[in-house]
Structure 1
């Protein structure tokens, strides 16, 4: 058994800060070097061999399709009265025709991704610059639409331009020339393909470093027998195999719009009219994200007020009881690009339009992780992050209608930003027979949530015609447990035989994602990850995400009690009060120089060498409690170097016009902050993001400010009153 103690270490912050500031010169988005780095983690031989098999299968299947279609008078392609296109893509093991159709009916687009965009409330400037996503659809998107022009390239040159593909693509990358049609990742790039050779092309792209692909289509539900619904078939197995061999690649697919279709007459639960058990095809893959459609009410601060599943969105469960769909995208009439002309728009919906909102949001989270930590997340981490931070509609765990809840990009970004402060995100590996455990301390301010996510080996079992076969598709069954004082906390699970019941807590034997929640958690807990049986391939990578924890005892206050302890012929030694687990940034210069020299140190003293007699110097300090969480700078201190007689001369506060140091308390804050200075009737406060985006402004007359509506993070508070301008930083839990 391996035991890990995550006591915070300042050396780790030093390394991380070095990596981040070194990466600051890297242009946002995927570079060729980064794609090669991702590709290096792929199982190249397995992917190449599998792609070769797919090519051979495709050639044989294409010939067979034409022959069987002719014998049975099946149409290879068809445009329905609604304008929807369908196409014969395969023949099932029982001889059933498998038609692909687009999943678009009325409307839907994920909310809260806008909080990450430029001018969004989080001030993150995440718009998908240089990021690339693949879109496979009924055809290709119109490439010269004014909303994206050069940012969309065609992967299948002879494919037909399709309005559905154009709407899906616009939902991801439209610039927003027409404001209401702006895409989630408005500066990203798309490679557009038709669905004809989707698995072959994705295997190629994933081997080359593709992170995400969008699939707003699936098997047409009214042309297959009942056993297909919820069944783990070869198409699901194929997609799982691609994702297992390309661990950074994640497929995002629409759940479908068959809730009211009454196509499955023998569901695993309830009556046909109840809408359960209508997922099929690759929506049932273990390693992808399957997106439901939802109607939701979200306030201006990105908080979910209410939500319910859309009337069209397909319900799970799948036959083995796994939680599908995984997550929900926001519904509502979506205005997007249309293929009628390069300036045309149209509204539509269905899970087709909820899915690109999720895909675009996931792309922004990958961009954010690269900006913060200089690397992309594995697909299991990205998927786990989305499910870990989703808005649970009724606080009773997942369900078979909307999975883990509504996608919440804001929450997910906060967990990434707060890594090593109030959250933990790690990519680990469990070897056969090994157990992984470590202790954490709840921060006492929010629910303690811990989850594991892994990209599982494709199942060797595929259903070939048995109705509602419950054989588990899960191969490597990992388990997460949390213990404290003899009490064990278990993950959520669902029961396919009681599909409309609330989730319970117990031993989850079917899902490659497990999540434990402990409300009102206090004190120290032990998290343990283990596995059942023998692991296929003798090991299983997994991603661990924990939120609501205190990862460090560091206090995010600027250093105090700064003094000169020793002076020599050309140097001084500066000291200040120590903060446990902290890293310090010191900036120093000659007083008249414009630019500061910056150094990072893990001890509370600094030797400043090479000083000149009768020269005045200044310096300031701040405390880092994690890579992204830092205090305000201390007051600027100055001194004129006089050898052994050197003394600190001034301590200039950030508010040069006030002799009273300005601060707020409590810091960190939860719902409210109070000022330590008196304010007048004309006082105004502004709360800014650390990148300078103004988030709130109001009167500061009562010296109390409500911050309950702010997401977790670091903020700048400014107080203005005539010529007075004071500022400080505070952290909001």
Structure 2
């Protein structure tokens, strides 16, 4: 299939500044090393262990902050059914298995790379740490086990696993993160982190640091900084298992009773730009996906963040997952936890990364696109709309793949990647038509790092660039979902959301008609001057009259979704309206034409000839040539057929025996 991915600003800040990236990674690595040494000194002085592993949970002392220890703690057939990953693995037209996709796994030790489920060297240790661990191996199997044992088959059974020890995780993520489409080798577009820092009750000991629950602290800010500078990289982070820590009679009370079980997610999982994953039970009945069975587990941590942001982002199966173990190359075990739900989601997401790459000739989604896609297509659980227990709902890989399939077929009304600018483009708006069926619009962006907080329940928003989504049409203006920090168990309402970098509007019973979707921002300017965003739409008509011209285009230029006649030449320039749409030109401006914008000097003396043209999102282009306009048909260049809209030039390096040579550029909608 051929289609064109959106090419607006296709590189990230780290890609533009590689030396700053290297320096930042070194800075983080040095800090991790210094913190670890200080932790060793503290542990020796206080007669505390550096690492505890009881076979159920791992604790490792990483640093000492404000005199308090900082511990990292570790937080499948039914899992694939629950996330609908099974529906895109062996089902046409998808047939996805994660082949060619690298997935990073940071964990309490190394993955057992020789396990029979990781054939042909698919699992590789990337940081030199080779001491295997059951938790890391189980997580990696949930993502990518081959399926030697059917019940242990991972979400993406042909994905490559890049194994890292968690000691210098943020520094290594900075180096490994993909920053543009088409990157291979050691680069990764997604990773899994089934661990967090010990807060409150941990393995029967109470640590007096509950103020860190929900806190946008330095760790959350740092991971947001990395992701803002590497905008094609999305890490999946487990929300934690704190709701079963401690007991109701403990003094202080257990974490699960602290604030009624709410506000017990912490550190990196509180980051705005990560994908935080909670755990539900098997969403399966009779071997089929049954979302209502996917109730939250007893242990999964609930949000919100202290500023009221929605956490977790999504949920996935995290109960009783059968996967690989590290005792030998054919060992397996069953584990439960958000440590299992996060790789369920991450492995399923690897299939979507693969599918996008297939659809768009090696392309890659921005992290905001992958995150927004999963949120937009998630199956709502619990209270209507988002909530602090299930986030946006249960991951639905099939629905996400179907949206990508629609987008690749030319339905630009399903997905848009664009940007706002403080000067050139302060707002975007476009029209859609609704038939009366429910429709949903989701906006997602990778936000700049906010100001780190250190106090208890600081309500200052971590949001920096406050984008706003509204829909105006019959019945007035609709606003996105909002949740109440003060009443965390309340059902979502709608209004001005000034804390989340994901906004969604759901219109349950729209009056048939035309609706205008608008994206703008609050404040006098945007941090960085520009903010990229990803937008998703469901339930609106793309082409209500079936004339191959989408409704939004007809409404924009003809004031009605059925106002254009495909064969008419509305501006008298010799090109009919349908051709104007395909070419990406204006049907009401005779001076707007699809044309070659420039070309090099004559193709003589072995000098290559370069031709350039204008491009439009959703189109593909082909270049052909002839040496006789009257008698010889144009012949396509084999390497210039169905070029994506990201490519607006072609260089002819062939030494032609006959001259002159005539060139032609053709355009069509991507298929």
Name the TM-score, length of structure 2 as normaliser. 0.74
- Could you give the per-residue CA deviations for residues 609-663 of structure 1, whole angstroms, max 9, x where no partner exists? 999xxxxxxxxxxxxxxx9xxxxxxxxxxxxxxxxxxxxxxxxxxxxxxxxxxxx
Q: CA deviation at 1:224?
A: 4.5
Q: Is the 8 A contact 1:490 1:516 kept in 2?
A: yes
Report deviation, 1:540: 1.1
Aligned with 2:283: secondary structure? strand
| Of 217, 221, 228, the match for 2:195 | 217
Paired position in structure 2 for 1:359 = 346
Cα distance change on mapping 1:270 and 1:601 into 2, 3 Å: closer
- Give a deviation string over 1:270-289, Cα, whole Å, max 9, x none: 95272111111111111000
Q: 1:247 aligns with which of 213, 231, 236?
A: 231
Q: Is the Cα–Cα contact under 8 Å of residues 97 and 224 in structure 1 kept in the other structure?
A: no
Query: 1:431 aligns to what?
Result: 421
Q: Cα gap change, 1:193/1:445 in structure 2, threshold over 3 Å: closer, same or farther?
A: farther
Matched, 1:407 2:395: yes
Q: Return the alpha-carbon distance in structure 2 between the equivalents of residues 276 and 262 of structure 1.
A: 15
Q: 1:17 to 1:339 in 2, by over 3 A?
A: closer
SS of residue in 2 equivalent to 1:193: strand
Name the CA distance, whole Å, in 2 between partners of 1:101 and 1:129.
31
Equivalent position of 2:453 in the other structure: 462
Matched, 1:391 2:364: no
Residue of structure 2 equivalent to 1:100: 72
- Closer, same or farther: CA 76–305 of 1 in aligned 2, 3 Å: closer
Deviation at 1:448, TM superposition (A): 1.3
Evaluate the alpha carbon distance shift between residue 42 and residue 83 of structure 1 in structure 2; reply closer, same or farther with a 3 A threshold. farther
Q: What is the Cα deviation at residue 156 of structure 1?
A: 2.9
> Which of 542, 557, 560 lines up with 2:533 in the alignment?
542
**Matches of 2:437 and 2:328, distance apart in 1:** 50
Deviation at 1:467, TM superposition (A): 1.6
Matches within 5 A, 1:31-70: 41=15, 43-70=17-44
Q: What whole-Å deviation, never above 9, does each CA across 1:636-691 have from its counterpart, x for those lacking one?
A: xxxxxxxxxxxxxxxxxxxxxxxxxxxxxxxxxxxxxxxxxxxxxxxxxxxxxxxx
SS at match of 1:481: strand
Could you tell me which residue of structure 1 aligns to residue 296 of structure 2? 309
**CA shift for structure 1 position 472:** 1.1
Q: Relative to structure 1, is the Cα distance of residues 391 and 338 closer, same or farther in structure 2, using a 3 angstrom cutoff?
A: same
CA contact (8 A) 1:327 1:387 kept: yes
Counterpart position of 1:193: 164
Conserved 8 A contact 2:434-2:514? no
Q: Deviation per CA, 1:109-144, whole angstroms, max 9, x where unpaired?
A: 653011110x23x54111011110100000011010
Whether 1:91 aligns to 2:64 is yes
Q: Secondary structure at the match of 2:440?
A: strand
Task: Determine the C-alpha separation between the residues in 1 that align with 2:383 and 2:265.
Answer: 25
The answer to whether the 8 Å contact 1:47/1:242 transfers is: no
Q: Could you tell me how far 1:548 is from its partner in structure 2? A: 1.4
- Once the two structures are superposed, the pairs formed by residues 474-489 of structure 1 within 5 Å of their partners are 474-485=463-474, 487-489=476-478
**Preserved CA contact (<8 Å) 1:233 1:462:** yes
CA displacement, residues 238-296 of structure 1 (integer Å, 9 cap, x when unaligned): 111110010001110101111122489899x9952721111111111110000000124
* Conserved 8 A contact 2:297-2:319: no
Quick one: structure 1 residues 144 and 601, their matched pair in 2 at CA, closer, same or farther if it must change by over 3 Å? closer
Q: Which moved further from structure 2: 331-340 or 53-62?
A: 53-62
Distance in 2, matches of 1:514 and 1:530, equals 12
Match of 2:143 among 161, 172, 178: 172
Match of 1:529 in 2: 519
How many Å separate the matches in 1 of 2:79 and 2:346? 13
By how many angstroms is 1:445 displaced? 6.9
How has the CA–CA distance of structure 1 residues 382 and 601 changed in structure 2, closer, same or farther, with 3 Å as cutoff? closer
| Distance in 1, Cα, partners of 2:311 & 2:433 | 30
* C-alpha contact (below 8 Å) 2:102/2:187 kept by paired residues: no
Displacement of 1:372 after TM fit? Answer: 1.3
Moved more, 233-242 or 215-224: 215-224
CA 1:526–1:273 in 2, change beyond 3 Å: closer, same or farther? closer
Measure, in 1, the Cα distance between the counterparts of 2:307 and 2:406: 36
Decide which structure has the larger Cα Rg and report it: 1
Alignment of 1:549-564 (within 5 A): 549-553=540-544, 555=546
- Which of 112, 121, 146 does residue 142 from structure 1 map onto? 112
CA spacing shift, 1:69–1:342, aligned 2, 3 Å: same
The residue aligned with 1:700 is none
State how many pairs are aligned.
Answer: 539
1:272 to 233, 258, 262: 258
Q: Structure 1 residues 172 and 426, CA, compared in 2 at 3 Å: closer, same or farther?
A: same
Alpha-carbon distance between aligned partners in 1 of 2:450 and 2:141, rounded to the nearest angstrom = 35
Instruction: State the distance in 1 between where 2:245 and 2:115 align.
Output: 34
Who is 1:644 aligned against?
A: none
Report if aligned partners of 1:384, 1:543 keep a CA contact under 8 Å in 2: yes
Q: How far apart, in 1, do the equivalents of 2:60 and 2:236 lie?
A: 21
Separation in 1 of the partners of 2:252 and 2:505? 33
CA distance in 2, matches of 1:540, 1:141: 38
Structure 1 residues 297 and 55: CA distance shift in structure 2, 3 A = closer
Q: Which structure features the higher share of strand residues?
A: 1
- Name the SS of the counterpart of 1:407 in structure 2: coil
Counterpart Cα distance in 2 of 1:270 and 1:257: 9
Q: Which residue of 1 aligns with 2:490?
A: 501
The answer to whether the 8 Å contact 2:319/2:340 transfers is no
2:399 is paired with a residue of what secondary structure?
Answer: helix
Instruction: Give 1:552 shift.
Output: 3.1
Q: Matched residues in 2 for 1:196 and 1:102: separation?
A: 13
Matches within 5 A, 1:575-590: none
- The answer (yes or no) to whether the contact 1:108–1:333 under 8 Å persists in 2 is no
CA distance in 1, matches of 2:4, 2:418: 20
2:83 — aligned with what? 111
Q: For residue 85 of structure 1, report the CA deviation from its aligned partner.
A: 1.9
Shift of 1:67: 1.7
Q: C-alpha separation between the residues in 2 aligned to 1:158 and 1:395?
A: 44
Q: Deviations over 1:340-385 (max 9, x none)?
A: 1101111111111111110011111111111112211000110011
Other structure's SS at 2:103 match: strand
- Structure 1: unaligned runs, 5 residues or longer: 1-15, 21-35, 558-577, 584-599, 603-608, 612-626, 628-713, 715-733
Distance change in 2, residues 1:387/1:553 (3 Å): same
Name the structure 1 match of 2:50: 76
CA offsets 1:25-55 (integer angstroms, 9 cap, x no match): xxxxxxxxxxx97898465344223213212
- Segments of 5+ residues of structure 2 without an aligned counterpart are 179-185, 202-206, 549-577, 584-619, 623-629, 633-644, 646-670
| Cα distance in 1 between the residues matched to 2:64 and 2:233 | 27
Distance 1:102 1:37 in 2: 34
SS at 1:551 equivalent: coil
Distance in structure 2 (CA, Å) of the matches to 1:280 and 1:38 = 27
Q: Is 1:163 aligned with 2:138?
A: no
CA separation of 1:444 and 1:353: change in aligned 2, threshold 3 A: same
- Confirm or deny that 1:440 pairs with 2:465: no
Deviation string, structure 1 residues 693-719 (Cα, Å, up to 9, x no partner): xxxxxxxxxxxxxxxxxxxxx9xxxxx
Q: How far apart, CA to CA, are the structure 2 residues paired with 1:498 and 1:40?
A: 40
